[in-house]
């Protein structure tokens, strides 16, 4: 991985210029830099200006102020063809090309290099082969694009972008229409690509877990028209992500690296869960779902879980009313039981304490 900056934003303010109206600034004083071989995720709430930033960075709309530098050259001064040789994009909009094979679609990525007669040379074919291999769609080569699934099509569009041999690859919400497995595949593929192609990859996503787990750098578009660039851990640790994303009653779950809803726990309904790793984890999940809060050792209620499918559970504790003590099999009965005594317990406790 080299340290060369391939794409940079210098004091950029981005927004819309409407005819005969003052420009609307969406983002201001944006300073970013993407180095070769970096995977960068762009996150931000809806309407904060992610798309505006992406469009400005790829030169699809001019910045209202400042400069976007591609290889150190102002992107607005580059001809579309020269730009297309260094920067490739994939968009969210679905493509319907009619009768076209995957190979033909990927070959379109060589357009910025061709003369108007458009004969393919050996290097063109090599670049297409490499793009197909890098994106893992070699075996789809002769299939028709219209016959592919969403995930396959997304990867073909990435291959088409790679055929441009870009220094910067910008993907607009590549995971939007994909199921979990396809998302993980795509994420792994993009991570591999930063190594094999040494391109800087910038992608926007709503998937916080993906954004934080995979990225070398996160660009966080805030609600206050600023963009913060930092390592994912820095943004998570400093609370910047919570501040930007968390609505009322939400918090950032450090373990899951995502925003979670704060549970409406019944006051006093806390329980200490004992058990092995996974059983305990899912038992706590069930406890939360029932409106209780898992708590530490000193808690009055103790829930012990034993291995098995379904799991055996037993609720016990010191100074707990008999009605609350119970045991059973399966988390369904556990949740049912906890919900049943959640309202009764605190009152009983209060009565005893006072």
Measured distance CA(9)–CA(5) in Å, rounded: 11
Three-state SS for 117-159 is CCCCCHHHHHHHHHHHHHCCCHHHCCCEHHHCCHHHHHHHHHH
Residue 95 or 240 with smaller CB distance to other proteins: 95
Give the number of other CB atoms < 10 A from CB of residue 228: 18
Q: Considering the complex, what minimum distance in angstroms separates the CB of residue 74 from other proteins?
A: 17
Of 75, 88, 135, 341, the one binding other proteins by CB under 8 A: 88
Give the residue carrying structure tokens 């190594």: 195
Q: Considering the complex, what minimum distance in angstroms separates the CB of residue 199 from other proteins?
A: 15
Q: Which stretch binds other proteins (CB under 8 A): 11-19, 81-89, 236-244, 264-272?
A: 81-89
By CB under 8 A, tell whether 316 contacts other proteins: no
Of 2, 3, 46, 79, the one binding other proteins by CB under 8 A: 79
Measured distance CA(125)–CA(109) in Å, rounded: 11
Give the number of other CB atoms < 10 A from CB of residue 322: 6
Measured distance CA(135)–CA(147) in Å, rounded: 18
By CB under 8 A, tell whether 95 contacts other proteins: yes
175 and 183 Cβ atoms separated by less than 8 Å: yes
Residue 39 forms beta bridges with which residues? 201
Q: Considering the complex, what minimum distance in angstroms separates the CB of residue 100 from other proteins?
A: 5
Q: Considering the complex, what minimum distance in angstroms separates the CB of residue 105 from other proteins?
A: 8
Residue 137 or 271 with smaller CB distance to other proteins: 137
Of 23, 60, 188, 262, the one binding other proteins by CB under 8 A: 60
Collect all residues with Cβ–Cβ distance below 8 Å to 238 and sequence separation of at least 6. Answer: 230
Residue 112 or 294 with smaller CB distance to other proteins: 112
By CB under 8 A, tell whether 142 contacts other proteins: yes
> What tokens were used for 149?
């699934």
Q: Considering the complex, what minimum distance in angstroms separates the CB of residue 192 from other proteins?
A: 23
Residue 104 or 342 with smaller CB distance to other proteins: 104
DSSP class per residue in 4-66: -EEEEEEEEEEEE--TTS--EEEEEEEEEEEETT-EEEEE--TTSSHHHHHHHHTTSS--SEE
Q: Write out the binding residues for other proteins, residues 148-167 only, by CB under 8 A.
A: 164
Q: Write out the binding residues for other proteins, residues 97-126 only, by CB under 8 A.
A: 97-101, 104-105, 108-109, 111-112, 114, 116-118, 120, 122, 125
Give the residue carrying structure tokens 């930092």: 230
Q: φ and ψ at 306, to 5 degrees?
A: -110, 150
Residue 80 or 267 with smaller CB distance to other proteins: 80
> What tokens were used for 294?
């898992």
Residue 69 or 91 with smaller CB distance to other proteins: 91
Residue 83 or 214 with smaller CB distance to other proteins: 83
Q: Which stretch binds other proteins (CB under 8 A): 83-91, 220-228, 293-301, 332-340?
A: 83-91
Residue 78 or 295 with smaller CB distance to other proteins: 78
Of 20, 46, 80, 181, the one binding other proteins by CB under 8 A: 80
Q: How far is CA 148 from CA 192, 271, 323, in A?
A: 23, 50, 58
Under the rule (CB under 8 A), what is the footprint of other proteins?
58, 60, 79-85, 88-89, 91, 93, 95-101, 104-105, 108-109, 111-112, 114, 116-118, 120, 122, 125, 141-142, 146, 164
């Amino acid at each position: 991985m080299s340290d060369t900056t391939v794409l940079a934003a210098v004091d950029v303010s981005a927004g819309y210029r409407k005819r005969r109206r003052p420009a609307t600034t969406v983002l201001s004083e944006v300073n970013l830099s993407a180095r070769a071989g970096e995977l960068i995720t762009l996150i931000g709430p809806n309407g904060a200006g992610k798309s505006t930033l992406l469009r400005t960075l790829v030169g699809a709309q001019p910045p209202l102020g400042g400069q976007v530098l591609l290889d150190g050259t102002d992107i607005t001064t580059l001809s579309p063809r020269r730009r297309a040789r260094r920067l490739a994009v994939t968009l969210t909009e679905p493509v319907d090309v009619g009768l076209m094979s995957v190979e033909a679609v990927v070959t379109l990525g060589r357009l910025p290099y061709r003369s108007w007669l458009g004969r393919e040379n050996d290097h063109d074919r090599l670049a297409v082969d490499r793009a197909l291999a890098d994106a893992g769609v070699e075996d789809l080569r002769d299939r028709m694009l219209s016959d592919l699934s969403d995930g396959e099509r997304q990867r073909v569009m990435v291959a088409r972008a790679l055929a441009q041999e870009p220094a910067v690859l910008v993907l607009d919400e590549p995971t939007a229409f994909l199921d979990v497995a396809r998302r993980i595949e795509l994420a792994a593929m993009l991570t591999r690509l930063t190594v094999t192609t040494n391109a800087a990859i910038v992608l926007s996503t709503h998937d916080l877990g993906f954004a934080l787990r995979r990225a070398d750098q996160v660009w966080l578009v805030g609600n206050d028209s600023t963009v913060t660039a930092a390592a994912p851990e820095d943004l998570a640790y400093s609370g910047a992500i919570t501040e930007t994303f968390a609505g009322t009653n939400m918090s950032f779950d450090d373990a899951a690296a995502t925003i979670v809803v704060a549970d409406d726990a019944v006051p006093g309904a806390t329980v200490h869960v004992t058990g092995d790793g996974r059983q305990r984890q899912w038992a706590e999940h069930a406890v939360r779902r029932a409106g209780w809060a898992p708590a530490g050792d000193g808690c009055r209620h103790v829930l012990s879980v034993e291995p098995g499918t379904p799991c055996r559970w037993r609720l016990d504790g010191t100074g707990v009313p008999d009605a609350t003590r119970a045991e059973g099999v399966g988390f369904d009965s556990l949740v049912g039981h906890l919900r049943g005594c959640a309202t009764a317990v605190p009152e009983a406790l209060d009565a005893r304490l006072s």
